[in-house]
Every structure is written in structure tokens, then in C-alpha cells.
Amino acid sequence: MKNHFTLLIVLAITYFSCSNIISAQLRNENYTASINGKIIIDSPNHNIQVKSENGSFWCTFDIGAVTDEYRELSNFRLYKEGRFLFGLSKVPGSDLEISNSGYVIFYDHKKHFLGELKIHAYSVSGNHLFTKSFFNADQFEFSESGNIFGIVDKHNLNIINIPMSAAYSYEKCEKFALDNAGYIVVLNNNELKIYRNDRLLNSIKLECSYIRKIIISSENNLIALINKRNFITYKLSDGRKSFSKQLKGNLSFRDIKILDAKIIVGIHKKTKNESIGILREYDISGKLVDERFGESKLIDQHEKAFVQKTNKYEYDPIPWPFFPFDSMRTVWNHYEQQMGNDGGEWSYLHQGLDLIVPIAEETYSVTEGIVKLVLTLGGGAYWRIAVSDSLVDDYSNGWLYAHLIENTIQFDIGDTVYIHDYLGDIIQWSEDWGHIHFVEIRDSGLVWLYDDNEWGINFNPMLALTPLPDTTAPYIDTVFTNSKFGFCENETSNYLSPDSLYGEVDIICKVVDYAGNSEWQQPAFKTYYWVINTATGDTIQPRQLGHVLNHSYPFYSGDHYTPFSEVMYKRDPILAASSWMSTERNYYHILTNSNGDSLIDLNERYLAFNTENYLDGYYVIFIEVFDEAGNSALDSMSVQFKNGNSTGIKNENLVSEYSLAQNYPNPFNPTTKIKFTIPQLDPIDGGANNGILYVTLKIYDTLGKEVMTVVDEQMRPGENEIEIYAGNLASGVYYYQLQAGNPSAGTGHGFIDSKKMIVLK
């Protein structure tokens, strides 16, 4: 690495000036412990919104418009010990931190749906120093001097010399610590590595796991770390253990600092009815020299509420995460709701459920489990905790509770949580309310991170929250003044008049729903459509599922949510996505971007309703929409197909032959897929109703006994793929048989074929 000599000089100068401030504050006993043992500066000024760790610098700002993960901040004002330093009318980010030397890091989460975090650094005099982008960042730390900043992203530990605007990369790590003299400690796989000037000096094998924090002091020749029960120190020079302390019972270590040749440890004392912070002060040799109580909070005890064992969606029911647990809260942002900006140039799918609650509302666990995640995505407003359902190193599921106040979070990695346990308080999000981002996620390991491409989301939380007292039915709004529904050429912005539909058409409807008493408009949970020939009364397009807002995604990232948004919703300059804070929103569902199953695939955006397959004339399109509670709305409109197809001449691109493919995979357990095709037939060949045929797909055992009916319905011509779940079938050989039309009437009137499949468990 370059410029390390200059870096050390800058650090040394800043360190000596800052250490005097710190020691003076310690003697004045301005330090205290929050209710969870976090070491904080006790400040009588309640207007302060963010302050440096040493308390010398602090700021105020206003909160304007907000979206799910972004806040517009304005009128930022930075102070040092009450003296105004500089201000910004518009803040380049939605949160910030201030170092002990007055540098300000603004966290810009505007492109959070892409996993991108921009940091904008400003000097104490208000000069913009640099802007840097990171992806999937989840660890942040200043050095004690405040001149060095570290951030872990998906690739590296990035160390930034703030005054020099110089960045250096180290190995990605689980935890890290920075020293004023340029030492860096990284933790991976229970091993500490000590670097200086890009050179590995030493390594230490640890005897404990679930490390909560590490600190390093070259001045005191010391490395110290804590986990839940242990506080251990090592000599920086040779890695030998210096001393250790242990806790038991209802005490746990939560924070640690080195201040003026003293080690300050924050301890959390948690009883059934109270959460208390404790400060202990040790000298460098490990002698306890002071202990005092910090902040405390009484915890209300709540008996386990009754929750029904099953519901119609077959998810384990959970209570609401606030007391009273059977009370529905204000739904702000829906699962897989389309989010966009005012300009309409981008959109993404919302990655969970957002509930509006009062600021500092107490949050409670909806299940029991093991804590596997406590981290921030950048700034005090982005702290979160996740409780997994099992203590396994493999993949597991767990509920995520985001936007908690760090100093109130009651648990840490490895802790056991029970249903209705108090987790922490909700952070301020807007000027007068807070919100929780709530969703079940999936990750692997005993510790979950955001930087490892494994943080997936599982399902719509509204399908598990109990009760769901929503009696308000959705309604289908008008897309255009002259058209109830919208129609455009497939994947274009060429909108068609309903009396002149031609070619492959996307069918669009605008849905408005309200969840309970919420004033915020929501999208439809589930959509269906079908088409009827007005002249004959024939159903040319059977009732087909558009989309159901309950898809799972393997990673919490815009790599999934941005492209999939364009499958489910129309967004262009004509039909723009909703703006941030409007209670009236635009949800333009594309019903035809679906193959009819409940899954979603990016290739489905190219699907459409092909009007060329049918005679010119008048048709009626029906659309039905549902919310999670089962409330529904049905609407329809008349349209006219105009393709110059008045004689019923077949489209040459249609499937012309029957086929039944071998299932894949085979053998399988428990699911497999079967593909088959139904050709377009003229009425004289048995293709009544424009080729609609009655189709069955059944499974038989080796004795010829029918064990499952997979398909039993009228189907349109085309290619089909069916997924079969055979979890209830025993291992063995089975046969699946496809029958379409009436094969007994002779060649050309139908089709029948069978193939063998093997269930192997």
C-alpha cells in the first residue's frame, strides 16, 4: 500500500487531540450504557439526532418525503460543542454518521434495491471530499481518531483514509477493528489477523465464537474482544492472552472501548421485567476500577396469545409483531408492490411488508428461534435483527425485523428468543411515525450476513399474520378515460384502442385495494382473466391466473426485483409507477405476462394474448382480482379483434401436432415436470370452440389403479408444462397418461399417450 507514512502522521496528530477530549469526558462521567449495554454519551440536548461517539460533534436535520428504504433529509446543521460549523440545505443521503474528528459520512440508499450504497464524505468545514459506491455493505467502523473509516462489502474490507480520500482493500471478514496508528485486525473463522501497512504481523486462534466486538490499541499494546459471556484481552506485540473476564446468569457483554488507558465494557442485564445497561471500567492489567448502572427500561410481560394452528394458505400462523398481538397495523408497502421514482425511469418490487407504527414502538418476536443476524445496512436507521427457526449451519428460515433503534436491541447473535419476547424499539422514519420492514428470509450458516449473496425472501407475510381483519374489497379502476382496461402491443408502449385489437396484446388492469383501515393504496394480491366470444358465447381463453404476489426470491437484490417488476407491472412514460409519499398509487398489473401457474419467470414478460388465433369480431374480457383476505372484485369490457381474419384461416405459427414428453427429472423426489402440446384443430377435425379441447393427465400405478389426476379441464392449443408433486406417493414405477379430445372418434379427433416415471425416495 502507498501513503502509509503520511497516513500515520495524520492519525497521530488527530489521536492526541482527540484523546484529551475523550479522557476529559470520561472523568466527567458523560459516558453511560443504554438499556442494552451499548456505550453512549449521555446528552441532555434532546434535539440532537446524530452525534459522534465522543460527543464533541452533533447535528440536526429535517425529514421530508420517505419511501421504503430512503428518506429525503434537509436543513442539515453540524455543531461542535454547541458551535455551528456548517449546513446543507439538501442532504446527499438518507442517514449519516459523524466521526470523533468531525468528518461526516452520508449514507445514500437511493439505489438500495440494486444492493448499492453510496457514501459521501464531508470535512468539518463542509467541503465535499469524495463519493464512493459499495455493494451489499453490512459493516461500518470509524477509528477512534475519526480519520479512518472501514466498510465491508461483498468483495473486501475497504479502509478509507478520509482526509486523503485514499482507499485500501483487505480480505473480506466477519469482524474488524481499526487503530489510530494504522493497525487493522480482521476476524475470520475464529482467527484474528493483525496487519499494519498491508503487512501481516501476527495471527491469534480464538477459543470462543460469536464475537460481538473487537478493539485494538497500539498505544496500550492491546487487543480486546467480547462475546456474550467472555471479555478477553491479548498483547498486540506477540498475541499472548493478557487477561479475561466472564459473565453468567442474566448478564452479557454488549460493547467495549479503550479510553485514556482504561477499558470500558458495556454489559446488558436482562431480567424478566427489566432491561438494564451497566458500565464497568478496567485498567490495562484487568483490575476493575469502577462500575455504575446506566439506562434501564421496564419490560411488559405478555402471555402467549392464541394463534390458530393452520390457515387457508397453509403457512404457520404468526401474531402481529406489536402489542396487542391480535391487532392489525397500518399496511404501508405491500409484498412485491411496485416501487418507482417520480421520473418513471426505474422501478423495483418491494422486498417485504412495511407497517407504519408510532416512533419507538416496542417490537416483539412472532416466533421462537435463534438470532442469526444483527447488523445495519448503513446508518442508525437501518439496524435489523433476524430470528432463525433452527440452529443449523445449513440453510434455514427466519423472520427479519428492520429499522430498530440500535441502543434498544435486546438480543445478539446466538441468543435464544421466544414468542412475544421484546426485541427493541422502532426508529423514527418520517417526521411523525416509524415503520418496520418485516419478512421471512432464508440464509445459510450460524451467522447471516448481507454481503454473501444468500439473503433470500420466502413469502408474503400477510398470508401468515393472524388475524387479518380486512373486509375491504379491492376494485378495478379505469386505466384510460376511454378504456376500462389497457391494451398494448406485446412489450411496447404502443397502446391500442379496445375496438381495434390486433396481434399479440398485453392486457393491463389498474387495481386499488386498501388493507384494513390503511389509507395507503395497495396492489391486487391475485389476478385472473378470461375471454369470451360475444357471438357464440364460447370461452376462447379459459380463466387463467395472472400473478399472485407471493413469489420467493433467492437473494435480496435488485438483480431479481427490478427485472421481475417489469414482468408483473406496466411501467412507461404513459403508465408511470407511483411516486414516493402519495397514498394514491398506480398499480398497472399485466395479466398476460403469465403462463398460468403461481411461479414467475423472466421469460414470461414476452408472453401475450394472441388475437390472431381467433376470428375478427367482438369479445368480452373478464378480470377478477383478490386480496389476501379473500375479498374480490370482478369487471369486464367489450373489445373487438381486427386482424383481417374473417374466414378462420389458421395461423401458420400454431402448434400442429400432439406430443407428450418424458418427465424431467426422472427418477425424481418429490417434484417433476411434464411437457405436452395441444395442436390447433379446425372444427371439422374435432377442434370445437376455436380449438379448445378437453384434456386429462392422470397417473397410474403398475396395477392400473389411478393414483392422481393432474389435469382435468378444457385447454387452449399450445405448449404446456405441468409440475407434479408426488410427496404422497411411495417409491416405485408409475405411468402418466395424456388424453386430449376424443381419440376414439378416429384419427385427427384426439390423442392419447402414456409414459413411465419413477418416484425414488
Q: What is the pLDDT of residue 747?
A: 53
CB atoms < 10 A from the CB of 21, how many?
A: 16
> What is the second-level CATH architecture of the domain 659-759?
Sandwich (2.60)
Task: Report residue 732's pLDDT band, with 50, 70 and 90 as the boundaries.
Answer: confident
- Is the model's pLDDT at 13 over the cut of 60? no
- Lowest-confidence segment of 113-117, 409-413, 421-425, 482-486 by average pLDDT: 113-117
Q: What is the pLDDT of residue 1?
A: 41
Q: What is the pLDDT of residue 652?
A: 46
Q: What is the pLDDT of residue 277?
A: 98
Residue with cell 425485523: 401
Give the Cα separation of 690 and 222 in Å (integer).
Answer: 82
DSSP for 350-401 reads --SEEEEE-TT-EEE-SS-EEEEEEEESSSGGGEEEEEESS--SSEEEEEEE
Contact 739, 750 (CB under 8 A): yes
Task: Report residue 260's pLDDT band, with 50, 70 and 90 as the boundaries.
Answer: confident
Q: What is the mean pLDDT of residues 137-166?
A: 95
Q: What are the two backbone dihedrals, phi and then psi, of residue 76, each rounded to the nearest 5 degrees?
A: -70, 135
- Is the model's pLDDT at 342 over the cut of 70? no
- Is the model's pLDDT at 414 over the cut of 80? yes
> For the chain, which residues make up each domain, given as ranges?
4-211+239-247, 475-641, 659-759
Q: What is the pLDDT of residue 2?
A: 38
- Is the model's pLDDT at 729 over the cut of 50? yes
Residue with cell 466521526: 99
Query: What is the percent of the chain where pLDDT is above 70?
Result: 89
Model pLDDT for residues 357-387, shown as the tens digit of each residue: 999 999 999 999 999 999 999 999 999 999 9
First to last CA, the chain: 56
Q: What is the pLDDT of residue 18?
A: 40
CB atoms < 10 A from the CB of 200, how many?
A: 10
Task: Report residue 135's pLDDT band, with 50, 70 and 90 as the boundaries.
Answer: very high
| CB proximity list for 522: less than 8 A, separation 6 or greater | 331, 334, 337, 474, 512, 513, 514, 515, 585, 587, 627
Q: What is the pLDDT of residue 9?
A: 36
Phi-psi region of 93 (alpha: psi -120 to 50; beta: other; left: phi over 0): left
CB atoms < 10 A from the CB of 223, how many?
A: 26
Q: CA angle, corner 109, sides to 185 and 446, nearest 5?
A: 45
- Lowest-confidence segment of 10-19, 142-151, 244-253 by average pLDDT: 10-19
* More confident call, 744 vs 675: 675
Q: What is the mean pLDDT of residues 577-604?
A: 88
Q: What is the pLDDT of residue 546?
A: 96
- Is the model's pLDDT at 343 over the cut of 70? no
Give the Cα separation of 516 and 141 in Å (integer).
Answer: 42
Q: What is the pLDDT of residue 26?
A: 40
Give the Cα separation of 510 and 633 in Å (integer).
Answer: 12
Q: What is the mean pLDDT of residues 641-663?
A: 72
How distant, in Å, are the alpha carbons of 263, 669, 707, 743 from that of 704? 78, 21, 9, 20
Q: What is the pLDDT of residue 308?
A: 62
Q: What is the pTM of this model?
A: 0.82
- Lowest-confidence segment of 173-187, 575-589, 676-690 by average pLDDT: 676-690
Q: Which residues pair with 375 in a beta bridge?
A: 384
Q: What is the pLDDT of residue 11?
A: 39
Model pLDDT for residues 273-332, shown as the tens digit of each residue: 999 999 999 999 999 999 999 999 999 888 766 556 666 678 999 999 999 999 999 999
Q: What is the mean pLDDT of residues 393-416?
A: 97
Q: Which residues pair with 701 in a beta bridge?
A: 734
- Is the model's pLDDT at 24 over the cut of 50? no
How distant, in Å, are the alpha carbons of 343, 605, 634, 694 from that of 716? 40, 20, 23, 9
Whose CA is closest to 459, among 361, 552, 581, 524? Answer: 552
Task: Confirm whether 475-641 and 659-759 share one CATH topology.
Answer: no
Q: What is the pLDDT of residue 341?
A: 65
Q: CATH number of 475-641: 2.30.30, 1.10.760, 1.20.58, 2.70.50?
A: 2.70.50
Model pLDDT for residues 526-546, shown as the tens digit of each residue: 999 999 999 999 999 999 999
Q: What is the pLDDT of residue 4?
A: 40
Highest mean pLDDT among 525-539, 696-710, 738-752: 525-539
Q: What is the mean pLDDT of residues 752-756?
A: 87
- Is the model's pLDDT at 5 over the cut of 70? no
Q: What is the mean pLDDT of residues 136-144?
A: 95
Q: What is the pLDDT of residue 20?
A: 41
Q: What is the pLDDT of residue 14?
A: 40
Q: What is the mean pLDDT of residues 42-60?
A: 87
Q: What is the pLDDT of residue 742?
A: 76
* More confident call, 320 vs 657: 320
Task: Report residue 679's pLDDT band, with 50, 70 and 90 as the boundaries.
Answer: confident
Q: What is the pLDDT of residue 35?
A: 98
Give the Cα separation of 197 and 584 in Å (integer).
Answer: 56
Rg of the chain taking only CA atoms, in angstroms: 31
Model pLDDT for residues 449-497, shown as the tens digit of each residue: 887 777 889 999 999 999 999 999 999 999 999 899 999 999 999 999 9
Query: What is the percent of the chain where pLDDT is above 90?
Result: 70
How distant, in Å, are the alpha carbons of 95, 394, 407 from that of 360? 18, 34, 11
Q: Residue type for 692, please?
A: I
What average pLDDT is seen over the chain?
Answer: 89
Q: What is the pLDDT of residue 743?
A: 67
